[in-house]
Structure 1
């Protein structure tokens, strides 16, 4: 069962003084009933990142530069969830324009530590038990990183498979709508609604052990001892359950893909926010966002197009290289949620999958000695979303380890 509207609103109002996950909550008396009483998500309450429209609530993208007028209609993804019986109860905090300047949200596991970003409010609302489902978005690591820091299941689908009508898009070729849940089973229920025609791939997991690629990504960054132990324990457990593990050498490609992601993100962000920069509200932009726009405007169109050609070439090569792999195991984050709330943490281990557009899933597996969550990231080839979630539901119980260090 998932929390209903009455339960979710009660928990949210009671617990949000400390967590500050919500921009606004709906009035229960004024909520429109869901059109489906027997749908896959009948009665379930959910939160919506404040870059996605919900009819009757404003969409301000974490910025004072955006108007407070309520949206006239739902975004497509919200409409799909409503049609399956779910009810949006409010808008969750996002970093400014889903970039890096954090909002007020605190990590429910330890308020002195960041919840991650930019989908901070959605991850925190699920982690705090306010809702079992919340929508977020990812451009670099804005789904997987906060899921890791808050200790919840986070899923970023294949790029382009969840319609973005009604979303304030930051980067046209990167932004992907995803969701946070309390369990993998709940994530699969959301996927059955938002990715309804891809479910046949889930049948591939029955009756056999998986073929798994391990990418520690040592060439691009270090991980904490707890994150390393979580990765090692996951791989050991998969081996014990018959998985065939391969270790491809992709270090050079990883560095190239990270460079292309940076070029792509800044170029697209700058053009996406150019109307704000040219408006009277430009002075309300944070220094970090203004700096990113300036960097992006310095990237020529020729440079941008050249990077996209390189991206397409590497994407084809990686599809072929990982063609016989069921999923990839790799770090979700450099470690536990960093102390302090002035930064949302590093998305280093997520950007490649955002650039390639492959589905990615964070699985919480335990806690470090300081009580903060750690886990692992599983990634699959495009349109293997349901298969990835099916593997996770089958194997997640086997890779959990309550105490990591």
Structure 2
């Protein structure tokens, strides 16, 4: 099916509403019409509000996101909508309150139009969502519905979450901008936590500019988006991973990006981090399974017959991990989280693959998060940039990683760098 972004950007929707040129619910109604037209094929939504149930923005026509329709991953509460965690048998009554992030977006004028499909408890067993660019290829996971809904043009933005690669991988496979903030930058109240030390709320959009607009609402302003520097922008290019090989298409696209940026005075310098990468992958595996098991243990005990064997085995595996090993890996996480200077010197950003390659064929899996997990355990902010399509019509791109606390600066630099590659004039 033809794929096109939502006809108006986040910025344009809010500008029109604030100027009185569009009704506060006009874009939300257009979103519902697009969902009605496309979702029987894409299957990105687990719950959609009826046109008569749309709630006008709290800030009327004055909010920063006035009138912007958004999707919300179905592990995050939205008042008046059910939260099902990707398990239909556990979907109950409507949530009484918005999650903090949803409440902040709503207070800025955004309009939640529904809940998007997630993998089972944001883990590995995929939901029904299909990739808008190739229906027989995975959209990624676990934030599959949110990424696909933005890619298919059903909404201009949607919330997702990441524990390992659940934001960046779907962004890469569906060809949209995906932003995973630094750990702890976005309040998680009202989200089903599965991993206390890893879970992070992020979002999808069609441009980095739109991702910035949402960040201006959800991430505290440090007033340091565009730190001036007399030296050229420096990017550390880290491609190696002991557990995966990067496909030739992605290698060529990253090489093209470096060539384009160097032509504009950007320094792109290759780095190797095999030892740290292997250790961080082990840390992620231990921390994730240990915390996931204890979070989901009560659910398995009470509703195990509703859950997949994959999830139940992961809980059993996590319960078998000793507290000593868990604390050891938490210490690794803490020690390396603030090691940007010793490891990357004066680099402003890291350029690294988002995935080993384009979206794999098949819907029974969500792809490999091996290029995402180390950044999740470090808690550094990540931004996926969609930059091209391969000969089969599947999206390819890359991710930029920022230092601890540099979320807004990552977005500001990422916007400029993305423009140099796409020339779309964000």
TM-score for both structures, normalised by structure 1: 0.96
Work out the CA distance in 2 between the residues paired with 1:401 and 1:286: 45
Superposition deviation, residue 208 in structure 1: 6.3
1:353 is aligned, of 348, 368, 375, to: 375
Match of 1:265 among 263, 275, 288: 288
Say whether residues 1:398 and 2:420 are aligned partners: yes
Show the counterpart of 1:336: 358
- CA-CA distance at 1:85 after TM superposition: 0.5
Match of 2:387 in 1: 365
Give 1:141 shift: 0.2
Matched, 1:225 2:248: yes
What is the correspondence of 1:91-240 to structure 2 with a 5 Å cutoff?
91-198=115-222, 200-204=223-227, 209-240=232-263
For residues 51-99 of structure 1, what are the alpha-carbon distances to aligned partners after superposition, in whole Å with 9 as ceiling and x for unaligned?
A: 0000011111101352411100100000000011000000000000000
- Displacement of 1:144 in angstroms is 0.2
Specify which of 90, 114, 139 is matched with residue 66 of structure 1: 90
Give SS of 1:177's match.
Answer: strand
The worse-fitting range, judged by mean Cα deviation, of 188-197 and 103-112 is 188-197
C-alpha root-mean-square deviation of aligned residues, in Å?
A: 1.6
Other structure's SS at 1:145 match: helix
Cα contact 1:365–1:401 (8 A) shared by 2? no
Give the CA deviation at 1:263.
0.5
Structure 1 unaligned regions, length at least 5: none
Deviations 1:162-206 (A, max 9, x none): 0000000110100000000011110000000001323x2212168
Q: How does 1:372-391 map to 2 (within 5 A)?
A: 372-391=394-413
In 1, the alpha carbon distance for the partners of 2:142 and 2:228 equals 32
Relative to the length of structure 2, the TM-score reads 0.91
Tell me if structure 1 keeps the 8 A contact 2:85–2:91.
Answer: no
Q: Deviations over 1:11-36 (max 9, x none)?
A: 01111010000001001211221111
Q: How far has the Cα of 1:248 moved from its partner?
A: 2.6
Q: Which residue of 2 aligns with 1:308?
A: 330
Contact preservation (8 Å) 2:139, 2:174? yes
Q: State the alpha-carbon separation in 2 of the partners of residues 203 and 338 from structure 1.
A: 37
- Provide the C-alpha distance between the structure 1 equivalents of 2:269 and 2:89, rounded to a whole number of angstroms: 49
- Residue 241 of structure 2 contacts residue 277 of structure 2 at CA under 8 Å; is this kept in 1? no
Taking the aligned partners of 1:185 and 1:366, their CA distance within structure 2 comes to 18
Contact 1:205 1:391 in 2 (8 A): no
